[in-house]
Amino acid sequence: MKWIKRNRYIEQYEYNSCNQHGSRYKKLISKKVSAAKLIAEVNNAGDLQVLALLSHHLDTPIRYDFSTSPQTAYIEVVSNEQV
């Protein structure tokens, strides 16, 4: 089973009138979002069992990619805290 993790910072801005520096937007917050993708090969029964249990507990669908070789199944999880 493979685990791919990405972090992204999402910034929220608020519209302001121009200040002395010419800035029109004021940054309110910068949230960190973590996204993880768990990938298992379809021919590996043990990894598929683990993926199915995680999918059930996290209430996320299992997606299949039959265009790759070997064929894979994966789930994606997004969190605003550490994954």
How far CA 33 is from CA of 1, 48, 77, 82, in Å, comes to: 23, 26, 11, 8
pTM of structure: 0.69
Cβ atoms of residues 82 and 34 within 8 Å? yes
pLDDT digits 0-9 by tens, 29-72: 888 889 999 999 999 999 999 999 999 999 999 999 999 889 99
The answer on pLDDT for 83 being more than 60 is: no
Question: HSE of 42 in the Cβ direction (CA atoms, 13 Å)?
Answer: 12
How high is the pLDDT of residue 31? 84
* Residues in contact with 76: Cβ distance below 8 Å, sequence separation at least 6, in sequence order: 35, 36, 37, 38, 60, 63
